[in-house]
Amino acid sequence: MEYREKKTEGNLTVMMEFILLGFSDLPDHQVFLFGIFLFIYISILLGNGLVIVITKIEPILQTPMYFFLRNLSFVEICYTSVILPRILVNLWTQKRNLSLLACAAQLCFFLILAVTESYLLTLMAYDRYMAICKPLYYPVIMNPKFCFQMVIVCWTSGIPIIIGQTYQVFSLPFCYSNKVNHIFCEIPPLMKLTCGDISGDEYFIYADCVLFVLIPLLLIIFSYTRILTIILKFPSSTGRSKAFSTCSSHLMVVILFYGSASIAYLKTKSNNRTDKIFSLIYTVVTPMFNPLTYSLRNKEFITAMKKIFSKCVISRSK
């Protein structure tokens, strides 16, 4: 594949195009991988779309928890749509070249949406904390206006920093190669292609990881530590079981998302294959299993889903 670059003064080069290697090391499995990722993408769209529709139209689900879940499902549809269609095109056409502008746009939108998800997961933990630890104050504090404002903050607060971070990454000199050994444009594999002293840039990246990953994770851990303390004091085993069931779904998503993202961005040693695996976990696997995690473990959601489906069946039979 052609390696395009633009010569500049001082004998440096500016990358005009990148090549996403993706799964090129598995040439005999391209069609199989295409089928797998197509199935995953359709599952994500249908599963999260179903969550959005049911939590929107069912009156019993008009609570802050399901409002946040609806936004989380929409975020996951968006940021998998930033990644998976490109993977599918690469697998189907075997054309892996990507312009610098397209790569920068993919990175920027992916990071903005990932930060939104991180903050939404934190907000959902706070919602559970208020519901279990401060039940008398819950209706007052978690009112519709506050919930809407917090969701807007989740969607917008990371945008200026992420745009600056994206500009910073793509203003670095790419000297070694234009081949990105990854499944999409992400900061760690792009940084491998840079040359010169980039220690200062790496400090900014670590600072962003602290702001967008570590601090939200610590807030979630604090919330659930308090929740666990309160739950263990419940006199009724039924009450404890119900509280654990309500929180366990969210905890499973938190562990998958933050665990894989932290390993991908904060580990010191890099391995191309494991990097791809961990990236797939928090960009593809988590959004695919989230609807199952939240719906199959939630009696209210299952009841609402059965009610809607029964209405659909009755209306068709008439």
Q: What is the pLDDT of residues 1-53, one digit of tens each?
A: 333 444 444 444 555 778 887 777 777 788 888 999 999 999 999 999 988 98
In a domain, 158, yes or no: yes
- Residue 298 covered by a domain: yes
As a whole number, mean pLDDT of residues 89-106 equals 86
Nearest to 251 by CA among 223, 232, 279: 223
Instruction: Tell which residue, 1, 31, 187, 176, has the closest CA to residue 96.
Output: 1
Residue 293 in domain: yes
Report whether pLDDT(202) > 90.
no
* Confidence at 210, pLDDT banded by 50, 70, 90: confident
pLDDT on residue 100:
85
What's the pLDDT at 6?
43
Instruction: Flag the least confident range among 114-123, 151-160, 188-197.
Output: 188-197
pLDDT above 90 covers what percent of the chain?
Answer: 25
- Is pLDDT of 86 > 60? yes
The set of residues, in sequence order, having a beta carbon less than 8 Å from that of 248 and lying 6+ positions away, is 297
Instruction: Please indicate, yes or no, if residue 58 is contained in any of the structural domains.
Output: yes
Domain span at residue 261 reads 30-167+179-312
Q: How confident is the model at residue 90 (pLDDT cuts 50, 70, 90)?
A: confident
Q: Does residue 318 belong to any structural domain of this protein?
A: no
* 230 occurs within a structural domain: yes
Domain count within the chain: 1
Asked whether residue 19 is assigned to any structural domain, the reply reads no
pLDDT of residue 148: 94
Residue 108, pLDDT score: 93
Task: Give the pLDDT confidence of 296-317 residue by residue, as tens digits.
Answer: 667 777 777 777 777 776 666 6
Locus of tokens 């007052």? 140
Residue 256, pLDDT > 70, answer: yes
Sign, CA torsion 170/78/293/114: positive
Residue 13 in domain: no
pLDDT at position 93 over 50: yes
Confidence of residue 243 (pLDDT cuts 50, 70, 90): low
Which CATH number do you get for residue 80? 1.20.1070.10
CB 290 within 8 A of CB 76: yes
pTM above threshold 0.95: no
Q: What was the pLDDT predicted at 12?
A: 47
Predicted local distance difference test score (pLDDT) of residue 185:
87
Cα–Cα distance measured from residue 116 to residue 100, given in angstroms and rounded to the nearest whole number: 24
Residue 317 has what pLDDT?
Answer: 62
Which of 163-167, 192-196, 275-279 has the highest average model confidence (pLDDT)? 163-167
Q: What is the pLDDT of residue 265?
A: 65
**For all residues of the chain together, what is the average pLDDT?**
81
Q: Mean pLDDT across the stretch 76-97?
A: 88
